[in-house]
Structure 1
Amino acid sequence: MSLTAIDSPWLAAHPLPSVAGGKDKDARGRVLAIGGSAEVPGALLLTGDAALRSGAGKVALATISSIATAIGIAFPEAAVIALAEHDGEIVSPLPDSMQRRFGQIDALVVGPGMRQTDRTEAIVAALIDQCEVPILLDAGAMTAAAALLPGRREVVLTPHPGELARLLDCDKDAIEVDLAAAAHRAADRFGAIVALKSADTVIAAPGDSDCLHYRSGVAGLGTAGSGDVLAGLIGGLLARGAPPREAAAWGVWLHGEAGRRAGNLCAPIGFRAGEIAVHIPPALHAMETRGG
């Protein structure tokens, strides 16, 4: 098994789809993010914000009805879809109107702010069956999908070691002792791109012996909501047309670089997840125009 660093030469050799020539917002990619709950109502705000800051043109957020209006007021750039709820969580089945939206999007992000429940599992199963665009699964949606993914390559999973241990039904220590091996095991089992989040993040693809890795060295990235930002960032790059492996790699690098910039302005730790997202556009612009 080989390891390849996600660095400036790798990124230059795997450029993102161009948005030159004044592409309009539809042509730059449309993201639908589904998630949120009464316990974590703001998670989708972080996800949607990061999706737009990645260069995607449109974002829609689907969440429980009791918080939908507040989300829309807090994030006026997004369309907001109110979904039925029970005990503060989204319930299935999703309305027929959601199926019509699947033909109007370029990438789907599911899971930020959601818990793993039987209802979540039913929602994820329906989405994987009905939606043809690339899908990123995070948090509760990801762990609910353990038995649902084989055979669909255009799925990205973004677990941390604890979540991957639950997915693979093993001890967390077994994951941490060899992150690359664990990520490859999961990629092959679920037929998905796996971005295993840690101090040294690794990305594995099904059937690929090469593993990408990135070490940010930014302690402040270990903060509440940071994973929601990463999910939206990768989702936005998927919507722009980047292949899943490249979208995950660019997303991980941009997340780390944005965190480094936030730390330089604030302090090594103590900046909030929303402050990471602010630095995504300049980090992306610097890499695309000056090579890093």
Structure 2
Amino acid sequence: MTEIVALDGDWRAAHPLPNIESGVDKNSRGRVLLVGGARFVPGALALTGEAVLRAGAGKLQMATVEAVALTLGVLVPEAAMVGLPMRDDGEIAQEAVAVLADLVPQCDVLLVGPGMSATSETGQLVQGLLALSPPALLLDAGALTCADPGELATAAARLPLVLTPHHGEMARLIGCDPQAITDNPAAMLADLVQRTGAFVALKGPETWIAGPGTPILHFTGGCPGLGIGGSGDVLAGIIGGLIARGTSPFVAIAWGVSIHGAAGQLTASEIGTIGFLARELLPQIPRLLETF
């Protein structure tokens, strides 16, 4: 069986984040292209986008349905906005692939999924984006649950691929009962990595992380308050921002999960164990990156 290693301070000390040298400009800190949201779920992208920047990425482009793009741009004024065609149900239309075709090769990380629904049309959109061969790809939420493991394996053979499912999303992705994942998360995670070649964070009260040729990392440093809507959107943004800065996917996931958990604990100590909001995690990220 694959070795299981505790994700703790000793592991982080042995796997530090890349330094950002004095005088480095925004172009050197990486660009994230964030695709997601819908007419009735625009806020998820705001959480992810701000987390990208809080994690130290230099540039952010946010692409969502044109009906809410302007409002989202006001919520995250540091980002450049891209309006995308919309389906009748308010989700991003397949024609968005053509709009994004010139932007994908220019980014360092393509992050897809926050605020998107898992439908067959979303699956077709993901297929189209995979064909654009981004430098690195992170699939979250609806974008990962409607992807085909075989297609993911094909993509992972040519680019770094990161998946961030919770138990229900992973069960949908691989076609099993969620209880099977709860009963044996490490083995199920190892199986998904073997089948897809992706770097995976299996989220939950305890988080399990693995990738091709890596040990399985086991993280237990979260808190109950992180089980709230938008929390996963923040985590995806932290990981995407760290990859854009030049961190390897495996180390970026590990640090992202660690920072996310520590931000939850810190926010809980200031506000309360239960009831803090996902957006209240965001200001904690920069100081934790320096002191954690």
Does residue 1:193 correspond to 2:196, yes or no? no
Instruction: Give the structure-1-normalised TM-score.
Output: 0.95
Tell whether the 8 Å contact from 1:146 to 1:190 is kept in structure 2 after alignment. no
What's the % identity of the aligned pairs?
Answer: 47
Report the equivalent of 1:290: none
Q: In the TM superposition, what whole-angstrom CA distance separates every residue of 1:79-122 from its partner, at most 9, and x where no partner exists? A: 11000001100011325442221232111110000011122111
Letter in 1 for 2:104: F
Tell whether the 8 Å contact from 1:184 to 1:206 is kept in structure 2 after alignment. no
- SS of 2:82's equivalent in the other structure is strand
Q: CA deviation at 1:197?
A: 0.2
Letter in 1 for 2:139: L
Report the equivalent of 2:91: 89
Tell whether the 8 Å contact from 2:97 to 2:125 is kept in structure 1 after alignment. no
Residues 1-292 of structure 1: pairs in structure 2 closer than 5 A:
1-86=2-87, 87-94=89-96, 96-147=98-149, 148-151=151-154, 152=156, 154-208=160-214, 210-287=215-292
Q: CA deviation at 1:232?
A: 0.6
Tell whether the 8 Å contact from 1:229 to 1:273 is kept in structure 2 after alignment. yes
Aligned Cα root-mean-square deviation (Å)? 1.3
Q: Write the distance in 1 (CA, Å) between the matches of 2:91 and 2:181.
A: 30
Task: Decide which moves more: 191-200 or 89-98.
Answer: 89-98
Q: In the TM superposition, what whole-angstrom CA distance separates every residue of 1:170-210 from its partner, at most 9, and x where no partner exists? A: 111100011111111111111101100011100011354x2
- SS of 1:285's equivalent in the other structure is helix
Tell whether the 8 Å contact from 1:2 to 1:211 is kept in structure 2 after alignment. yes
- SS of 2:123's equivalent in the other structure is helix
Q: CA deviation at 1:262?
A: 0.7
Unaligned 5+ residue runs, structure 2? none
Letter in 1 for 2:110: L
Instruction: Give the structure-2-normalised TM-score.
Output: 0.95
Letter in 2 for 1:129: A
Q: Write the distance in 2 (CA, Å) between the matches of 1:164 and 1:207.
A: 20
Q: In the TM superposition, what whole-angstrom CA distance separates every residue of 1:226-251 from its partner, at most 9, and x where no partner exists? A: 00001111010111111111111111
Q: Write the distance in 2 (CA, Å) between the matches of 1:108 and 1:188.
A: 23
Q: Write the distance in 1 (CA, Å) between the matches of 2:97 and 2:139.
A: 20
Q: Write the distance in 1 (CA, Å) between the matches of 2:69 and 2:50.
A: 16
- SS of 2:181's equivalent in the other structure is helix
